[in-house]
Amino acid sequence: MQRFILNKRNQIAFIGGVLIIIAFISKLGFKNIEIFTWSLIIASIMGIAPIAIQAFQALSVKVVSIDVLVTIAVTGALLIKNYEESAIVTFLFLFGAYLEQRTLNQTRSAIKELTEMVPESALKQMENGEFEEVEVDEVDVGDILLVKTGAKIPVDGTVLTGEGYINEASITGESVPVGKEKDSKVYAGTILDNGTLQIIADRVGEDTTFGKIIELVEEAQDSKSEAERFIDRFSKYYTPAVLVLGFIVWLISRDIELAITILVLGCPGALVIGVPVSNVAGIGNGARNGVLLKGSEIIHDFSKVDTIVFDKTGTLTIGNPKVADIIVYAKNFNEVSSYLASVESESDHPLAKAVVEYIGDTKLYLVENTDVVKGGGIVAYVDGHRVAVGNLSLIEQENVPINEKVREDIARFEQDGNSLVLTSVDGELMVMMGIRDQIRPGVKEDLQKLKKLGVKNLVVLSGDNQGTVDLVARELGLTEAHGNMLPEDKAAHIKELQDKGKIVAFVGDGVNDSPSLALAHIGIAMGSGTDVAIETSDIVLMNSDFSRLPHALGLTKSTANNMRQNIVIAVGVVVVLLASVFLSEWMNMSIGMLVHELSILVVILNGMRLLRYRLRK
């Protein structure tokens, strides 16, 4: 019976409202006091039923909730035959609860949208080679699946055959479709805009990137910040205090109506709901924009950060070395480039890959007698010529003449932060390439946004040589730059900053820098939804998009401010209402409950503004 009544709260509120309207029409229009009285009594009794049940449930676990205050107040109003007050208070309380739930559901729209994107079925290849539609739960790792245009990718997997463009907004927040071909990675919950793909399942169900994101956002929205825990403790003592205040007022004044009015006006509903709704809305905004915030406590801590430490490679830079400068000393570069590409194609070294990528399609020769010189490069014979490719040390070992002009070129390349790749053919220097990692597009502007948001110290820590790190720091306007650092050195530097009273966030790739991510007050991973990135950090910037970092900081600051605004609104309304009881003649239970419910809606709507938050340009 209790469950039935609680499930019908909205209908009871509607009937109560209709009965109140009938009552006042009967009294004002037809002077029928009997219908007026009985309509209000029925509305009061119906309305108090679900509220009393919730009050009883709260008391059974030793919690004096808002429902307890309202139940006592309405029961008292009925006993003193103040039927107008009792009926209107129960209606406003139930109707307010309905509006609260409706608006709160909107703040959880981000997670709702995510769960609706979860694929329900898949086309799985059976033993006879045919593809049949099955429930997604029936797909196992290693199964081959067919995905057609417009369908959702059901699992995390690798493309076996086919080409197409996939909308990965659910994973990365980016609406621009991403091209996929053989060996490309695809993620569950994304949508194939066009094309047809056959994929092999790598991760299924809750183990997929999309499953982990949903789990993360759900946990974050259900977690409680320090402010929420404080308000829970406050409400635990505040509500009984209101009961005691009402009893004391009755003892002194012997005015039962005044005492009952105090119980209604002292309800701390807006205070209890204000902070959680801000957190939920803030986390929801982040999920929509590719920023995964792992809990309400993270919002509080990140909003106070004054120092952000960055790993260089893969964070400030793309992490993919490319040829940035080149000087050709040979007369026939086309032939030399073919020799160079032939030798470098034999190597898996990142610098070799950068050279091959730069040269592009060219004639490749058979490479013979390859000699890999540790810490130097490669010496081999190509088309009958002795070709040496490597650093300056290797070229000097080959006794290649280096004149003053070449040494000036070398010094200039190194000063610009390049790694050198020199090529000699038959003892003569032919080409010098300068290879360096490229700074991410837009990073400089994003760092300026962080400064405007109150970050005073921007620090880069890297294992690269100090010259390269200094070059990046100068170009980006960083506060500090430290090179030649091992992972333990980075962690030690972060500890040193913390000892100086700095509130430190560390931004890294979530793999090599896990000690620093764990040690910093806030660990931020540049991740494309990888397991390590999600599990080792407090915040994940999906798709390794650095531009999401200023949005994340601005969002957490706005969320923290929004919490404070809601607390001020909630406390201010209660203070004004209680003061009005003693300092004015117009305040009563009905007006107090109306203002009380309006204050709850105000803090909810104020929190919902965060769903539309965008960082100002």
Domain ranges for the chain: 120-151+156-203, 305-319+440-558, 322-436
At residue 529, the pLDDT reads 43
The list of the chain residues with pLDDT below 50 reads 173, 529-530
At residue 598, the pLDDT reads 86
- Give the separation between CA 210 and CA 200, rounded to whole angstroms: 17
Question: Is the CB of residue 399 less than 8 Å from the CB of residue 387?
Answer: no
Catalytic center residues: 311
Paired tokens of 484: 């030649």
Strand-strand pairing, 156-167 and 377-382: unpaired
- Give the separation between CA 33 and CA 79, rounded to whole angstroms: 18
CATH of 322-436, one of 3.30.1330.10, 3.90.1150.10, 3.40.50.720, 3.40.1110.10: 3.40.1110.10
- Residue 616 DSSP one-character state: -
- Give the separation between CA 510 and CA 532, rounded to whole angstroms: 6
Q: What is the pTM of this model?
A: 0.69
At residue 140, the pLDDT reads 92
Q: Which helix (H) or strand (E) holds 159?
A: strand 156-167
Report the CATH architecture of 120-151+156-203: Distorted Sandwich (2.70)
Nearest to 529 by CA among 173, 113, 166, 180: 173
SS3 328: strand
At residue 1, the pLDDT reads 80
Contacts of 599 (CB under 8 A, 6+ apart): 269, 270, 569, 570, 573
Q: Which helix (H) or strand (E) holds 504?
A: strand 504-508
Contacts of 572 (CB under 8 A, 6+ apart): none
At residue 500, the pLDDT reads 93
Put the strands of the sheet holding 367-373 in their side by side order: 322-328, 428-436, 419-425, 385-390, 377-382, 367-373
Helix 109-116 × helix 209-222 angle, to 10°: 160
pLDDT digit string (tens) for 508-518? Answer: 875 556 678 87
* 3-state DSSP percent of the chain in helix, strand and coil, to 5: 55, 20, 25
Report the CATH architecture of 305-319+440-558: 3-Layer(aba) Sandwich (3.40)
| Virtual torsion, Cα 485, 491, 493, 496, nearest 10 deg | -160
At residue 170, the pLDDT reads 61
